[in-house]
Structure 1
Amino acid sequence: MNKMDYMEVTLPNYSYVFNFEEEFIHQDTRVWMMNNWTNCFYYCGIYMILIFGGQHFMASRPKYELRGVLSLWNTLLASFSIIGFTRTAPELIHVLRNYGLYHSVCIPSFIEQDRVSGFWTWMFVLSKLPELGDTVFIVLRKQPLIFLHWYHHITVLLYSWFSYTEYTASARWFVVMNYCVHSIMYSYYALRAMRYSPPKWISMVITALQLTQMIVGCAINVWAHQYLESGQAECHISRVNIKLSLMMYFSYFVLFARFFHKAYLGGKSSSKSGKKAYANGNGHIAAADYSNEKLKAN
């Protein structure tokens, strides 16, 4: 299947297309990313200096509550994720329904055609930079900062920006799944920051969704690898990308599974720790606010 084949596919029937979506030009953003994606290494370096330097700075100082700012931050991210999900999910559903699994994994139909999905994919990639700000709340509120949090933020940023330069076809899966989980997760934390008390089981469901996301992410990469190795059809994803993505998703799965076990299945001691952290407020591993931090799944 060549480029002309996947440029001729039909598009989802969007009820409305905004002007800024209609004016979106894929090639311009791809050229920009190809010229600038390596800057994210500098951003990650600055991020590491700020968060660990910030922890040292806050060690002898009282914590900040920041509940109002945190409520606004989570509300904005929840709204962004909900909109992103509603604008990208139709393309994935349309492709699966009309063209099947192979097309959804290997053929980037949004190239130069689906400007709606393309625009929100671009927004998704860019959003990984400001999302580093999640960690600021952990540092200023003097909450525990564990490896999974900053490791996740850094690797998601690096992988997302790199993948955009290749127009990786399987990215449609990753983008839709991430938007979906974030829609629920940030809404939950916005309510918590506003002092509402959603049922605790919701956080467990969110962590289960995160684990499911990791499993699906690994499966997508395995399928892409099989398509490439068969040599029977074109698959628009590089072997390097598959290796990086598979390692990333598998590492997330191991770390989130470990967290899930400690938070929910580790016995009385884990249960007490989970309840204590849950009572303290905002977290980002979506489970029981077990470590009082913000963790997102990609």
Structure 2
Amino acid sequence: MFEMNETDLRVPLTEYSFEQRFDERGAIRWMQDNWSRSFLYAAVYAALVFGGQHYMKARPKMNLRLPLVLWSLSLAVFSVVGALRTGSYMFHILSSSGFRRSICDQSFYNGPVSKFWAYAFVLSKAPELGDTAFIVLRKQKLLFLHWYHHITVLLYSWYSYKDMVAGGGWFMTMNYSVHALMYSYYAARAAGLSVPRPLAVLITSAQISQMAMGVTVSGLVYRWMHHADCPSRLDNITWAALMYLSYLLLFSNFFYQTYLRRHPHPKTTKTE
């Protein structure tokens, strides 16, 4: 386990009582002992997804509008609060210690404000798998990008939290922020609200920016990992870089196919 480095906290940060009481050492120990369960969850998820698709083939699609609204709204609120809390801590590190320290700092895992939300972030990747149930039961098109993204984020998040590697603060803050937009959009759509198309374009653009920044952070951690204050391992950096690069390509392709490519209009059949 890496030795913890802590950012300069001369400027006090306001914490809620549950954040102060959170036992991050116990959480880290639990993840070190149990992180491999993520493979079991991923396998069960894949079996249910593709088995569910087969099951639904001969059955009518379900509506599920109200459950989808509640599900998306719950994740939207969680992501908004997580983005605000980790974002405030990230801003503190950037303003007090600079960009390099924000990349290398480990105090996201045990510092005030952020320690609870770091653990909540990695745990949330398991229940977020439930997103796919709505796609399967409503018989919507299931993209490779969707299930691949869910599985790999779960595996990498649990794998990385146990070692408290550098770069985690950026990964968490970016993901919380993008999910705050994304799940709010999903909740509004599920509720039947009219959502302007540019908002969907903005969300996908934010996702692409997140992936590009993920590749950048991975590269900077590799550059600085040999310094004592930027702890990581080559295997972790390799997986992170490959994961974010694959996301960057997949989300960019999705953006092109959805918003830029001209789809031919279907031919109409003449009727007499």
Post-superposition CA distance 1:152-182 (Å, at most 9, x none): 0000000000000111221100110011111
1:23 is displaced (CA, Å) by: 0.6
Q: Distance in 2 between matches of 1:64 and 1:82?
A: 29
Q: 2:218 aligns with which of 217, 221, 226?
A: 221
Distance 1:170 1:65, change over 3 A: same
Letter in 1 for 2:18: F
Give secondary structure in 1 for the equivalent of 2:113: helix
Distance 1:151 1:212, change over 3 A: same
1:11 is displaced (CA, Å) by: 6.2
Q: CA RMSD in A?
A: 1.7
The equivalent residue for 1:20 is 18
The equivalent residue for 1:180 is 177
The equivalent residue for 1:205 is 202
Give secondary structure in 2 for the equivalent of 1:218: helix
Post-superposition CA distance 1:109-144 (Å, at most 9, x none): 2354x2320100100000000000000000000011
Matched ranges for 1:58-207 at <5 A: 58-112=56-110, 114-207=111-204
Distance 1:76 1:11, change over 3 A: farther
Q: 2:44 aligns with which of 43, 46, 64?
A: 46
Post-superposition CA distance 1:172-206 (Å, at most 9, x none): 00110011111111111111111101111100010
Letter in 1 for 2:256: H
Query: Does the 8 A contact of 2:166 with 2:221 survive in 1?
Result: no
Give secondary structure in 2 for the equivalent of 1:268: coil
Q: Distance in 2 between matches of 1:234 and 1:97?
A: 18
The equivalent residue for 1:288 is none
Q: 2:257 aligns with which of 262, 268, 272?
A: 262
What is the number of equivalent residue pairs in this alignment? 265
Query: Does the 8 A contact of 1:218 with 1:249 survive in 2?
Result: yes
Q: Distance in 2 between matches of 1:77 and 1:12?
A: 31
Query: Does the 8 A contact of 2:13 with 2:112 survive in 1?
Result: no
Letter in 2 for 1:268: H
Gaps of 5+ in 1: 274-298
Give secondary structure in 2 for the equivalent of 1:198: coil
Distance 1:11 1:70, change over 3 A: farther
Q: Among all aligned residue pairs of Structure 1 and Structure 2, give the percentage whose two residues are the same amino acid.
A: 45
1:213 is displaced (CA, Å) by: 0.3
Q: Distance in 2 between matches of 1:180 and 1:235?
A: 24
Distance 1:14 1:8, change over 3 A: closer
Gaps of 5+ in 2: 267-272
The equivalent residue for 1:247 is 242
Query: Does the 8 A contact of 2:108 with 2:169 survive in 1?
Result: no
Post-superposition CA distance 1:72-101 (Å, at most 9, x none): 001000000001011111111111111112
Distance 1:241 1:265, change over 3 A: same
Give secondary structure in 2 for the equivalent of 1:65: coil
Query: Does the 8 A contact of 1:84 with 1:120 survive in 2?
Result: yes
Query: Does the 8 A contact of 1:12 with 1:90 survive in 2?
Result: no
The equivalent residue for 1:277 is none
Distance 1:191 1:82, change over 3 A: same
Q: Distance in 2 between matches of 1:25 and 1:43?
A: 24
Q: Distance in 1 between matches of 2:239 and 2:8?
A: 29
Q: Distance in 1 between matches of 2:240 and 2:159?
A: 11
1:3 is displaced (CA, Å) by: 5.2
